[in-house]
Amino acid sequence: MGIKTVRDMDVKGKRVFVRVDFNVPLNDNKVITDDTRIRAALPTIRYLIDQGAKVLLASHLGRPKGQVNEKYTLAPVARKLSEILGTPVLFASDCIGEEAKRVAVGLQDGDVALLENLRFHPEEEKNEPGFVKELASLADIYVNDAFGTAHRAHASTAGIAGLLPSAAGFLMEKEVEYLGKALSNPVEPFVAIIGGAKVSDKIGVIENLLDKVNTLIIGGGMANTFLKAQGLEMGKSLVEEDKVALAAEALRKAAAKGVKVLLPTDLTVAEAVSAEAPHKVVGKDQVPPGWSAVDIGPDSARVFAEEVKKANTIIWNGPMGVFEMAPYAKGTEAVAKAVAESDGTSIVGGGDSVAAVKKMGVAEKVSHISTGGGASLEFLEGRELPGVAALGKKGQMRKPIIAGNWKMYKTAGEAAAMVKELAGLTAGITEVETVVCPPFTALSTVLEAVQGSNIAVGAQNMHWEVQGAFTGEVSPVMLKDLGCKYVIIGHSERREYFGETDENVNKKVKAAFKYGLMPIVCVGEKLAQREQGITEQVVRNQVEKGIAGLDNDQAASLVVAYEPVWAIGTGKTASNEDARQVIGFIRNVISKIYGREIAAKIRIQYGGSVKPDNIAGLMQQEDIDGALVGGASLEAKSFAGIVKYS
């Protein structure tokens, strides 16, 4: 969708206002009974903490109708979040005013605070400009990670994004990517399953999907209206009489577009909509007078399941029957099982649909469970969501990263002087992430010298252990304690001179992530290997072994540097096309390990005699997201020329 994400923002030392969806259920004792929504925001919160941001969270809870109501205070949420994070979470008793400012100004790097319920103020839902300005005054950057409220043009979802640099959090990114890809570029066959009570709630979704799906499955109460449109008598079943003509028109449109529509062929009917009422299975044309359809029948469940299992893209929103009552949950459960067993990409949204996959213990087998009920429906209708539209856009999905590896050059004083000059030459450049990796002895002085600039600092190596009798080594904890953001792992010189193996690289990569560092993983072939024609074999082995065993969030955060050994320090550079081909190959290898969506997020650099006069050509190549620079990064003007390649 082209929206900026939190990865595209320099957040270190910045106050970041994060709109989250902490609208969680509480019992009468104000105890949270389901913390799913809190946990869904953790990847974004933890990322910001690790990046040294000052995190200011904001949410609504319940419907306080613009008035302070202790029933809807977020104080219990702050306590629960503190418990989950294992770190104190400050709580401000208001979301604007002196109390909010006091808490915001007092935040230190890595601190987290939660503001009181936004909807205690009527100005929130009205998107009142003065209220928007007060919220924006608390922070430097805005991040929206609340997809469930993205369809509302409120102060904290749309207004504030117009006043601050803005981006999506990881949850928002995931929602938009999954739903967006399903609508714009689905892998066929594409099957949509639409259920629930009323046609009126989802007719917009159905009409939008008719141009995209191969098969449309309709169940639940809304199926009754479609069956009535086919001339069937539905007894006392829920039927929207004023929508029968609309349902008939939708069926005609589907036939004209060649979309297969599956409606129930049999139904579970009951004398009353009650779990204790007499019930039985009948054909769709045999609903007894006075009885109501309460679920699809077993034959329908079987046919629906068979169609779902053949799909490569699945969207499911809405139950197949009165799911809340156990006797009438079988149809919904059959569909849930089929969705989970499918090899395709599956997206589930809507409370009952989500409840079904969770109840059956198959939620982890679903590709994506949407956190937004109304938001996901409006997205599927093809409507623009204010909370998404307001976010910053980016010209490319991956932010370029230019990193300078200074190797065994520069004293601490020389390093500090150079990086100060570099900071002046690259001031204001935010579209490229600039990184310097000085020797260990200069890390502290360089970190101090880059304060207030857009330059990040990385180390050139580390051990995978936290501590121990490893003379001459440094640990990830030591680097993180200094303030390093990145660490180079598996550089060809480490492999050549110090016997670094792919297995060691993998240990270091995992340790880096565990302790909050971002690894730059180096891979590349020697000249003899290139001449033997085994470049791809060598690079594949290094990638597969070096980055094995990561979770998806870790993998997506990787930086990989392709550095042909024969081009390092030799003055020789792979042609632009050679570099593009190998880097494209690396991305393909990663996609086979972690999937195409993860591979598309990973930044891959080229390294090997990169200079100001060849960087532009390299950066124009598809899949090349930056450079790992050696000798040309040792002089400020030269490195600045590379950073300012565009």
Q: pLDDT tens digit string along 542-599?
A: 999 999 999 988 999 999 999 998 877 666 667 887 888 899 899 989 988 998 778 8
Mean pLDDT of 51-72: 94
Pair type for strands 455-459 and 518-523: unpaired
The yes-or-no verdict on residue 483 having pLDDT over 80 is: yes
Quote the CA–CA distance of 603 and 556 in Å, as a whole number: 9
Quote the CA–CA distance of 579 and 574 in Å, as a whole number: 6
Which token pair is 286?
A: 């045999």
In 305-392, at which residue ranges do the beta strands (DSSP E only) sit?
A: 313-317, 345-349, 368-369
Quote the CA–CA distance of 191 and 380 in Å, as a whole number: 13
Mean pLDDT of 194-202: 87
Number of Cβ within a 10 Å radius of residue 362 = 16
Which token pair is 565?
A: 């050994």
Query: Would you give the DSSP letter of residue 157?
Result: I
Residue 261 CA neighbour count, 13 Å, CB half: 25
* β partners of residue 518: 486
Model confidence band, residue 218 (pLDDT cutoffs 50, 70, 90): very high
Domains 186-386 and 401-643 share a fold: no
Sheet holding 292-296, edge to edge: 279-283, 266-270, 292-296
Superfamily of domain 186-386: Phosphoglycerate kinase, N-terminal domain (3.40.50.1260)
Specify the DSSP element, H or E, that contains 457.
strand 455-459
Question: Within its chain, how far is the Cα of 137 from the centroid?
Answer: 27
Q: Where are the domains of the chain?
A: 6-169, 186-386, 401-643
Q: Tokens 């960087």 label which residue?
A: 615
Mean pLDDT of 197-216: 88
In 24-169, at which residue ranges do the beta strands (DSSP E only) sit?
A: 54-58, 90-91, 112-114, 141-144, 166-168
Give the pLDDT score at 461: 98
Residue 251 CA neighbour count, 13 Å, CB half: 19
Quote the CA–CA distance of 448 and 379 in Å, as a whole number: 46
CB 485 within 8 A of CB 456: yes
In terms of C-beta density within 10 A (0-12 exposed, 13-18 middle, 19 or more buried), how is residue 585 classed? middle
CATH class (in words) of the domain with range 6-169: alpha beta
Q: Does the annotation count 563 as an active-site position?
A: yes
Q: Tell me the average pLDDT of the chain.
A: 91
What confidence tens digit (pLDDT) does each residue in 265-307 have?
999 999 999 999 999 999 999 999 999 999 999 999 999 999 9
| Among 463, 491, 500, 525, the one annotated catalytic | 491
* β partners of residue 436: 404, 457
Model confidence band, residue 216 (pLDDT cutoffs 50, 70, 90): very high
CA distances from 174 to 26, 224, 556 (A): 27, 34, 12
Which token pair is 322?
A: 């009165």
Q: Does the annotation count 491 as an active-site position?
A: yes
Which token pair is 458?
A: 């990385």
Quote the CA–CA distance of 390 and 201 in Å, as a whole number: 26
Quote the CA–CA distance of 216 and 47 in Å, as a whole number: 39
Give the pLDDT score at 362: 85
Specify the DSSP element, H or E, that contains 496.
helix 492-498
Quote the CA–CA distance of 613 and 571 in Å, as a whole number: 12
Q: Tokens 């349902």 label which residue?
A: 247
Span 401-643 CATH architecture: Alpha-Beta Barrel (3.20)
CB 362 within 8 A of CB 335: no
The yes-or-no verdict on residue 178 having pLDDT over 60 is: yes
Mean pLDDT of 143-151: 90
What confidence tens digit (pLDDT) does each residue in 416-447 have?
999 999 999 998 887 899 999 999 999 999 99
- Tell me if the pTM is above 0.75: no
Mean pLDDT of 512-526: 95
CA distances from 244 to 176, 258, 486 (A): 33, 21, 61
Which token pair is 417?
A: 């002087």
Q: ∠ CA 485-488-490 to the nearest 5 degrees? A: 150
Q: ∠ CA 318-323-325 to the nearest 5 degrees? A: 165
What confidence tens digit (pLDDT) does each residue in 43-54 have?
999 999 999 999
Quote the CA–CA distance of 403 and 460 in Å, as a whole number: 11
Coil vs helix vs strand at 487: strand
Residue 164 CA neighbour count, 13 Å, CB half: 31
DSSP letters for 132-200: HHHHHTT-SEEEE--GGGTTS--IIIIIGGGTS-EEE-HHHHHHHHHHHHHHHSPPSSEEEEE-SS-HH
Q: Tokens 């117009």 label which residue?
A: 162
Model confidence band, residue 86 (pLDDT cutoffs 50, 70, 90): very high
Coil vs helix vs strand at 434: strand
Question: Phi/psi of residue 494, each to 5°?
Answer: -65, -40
| Among 173, 175, 500, 563, the one annotated catalytic | 563
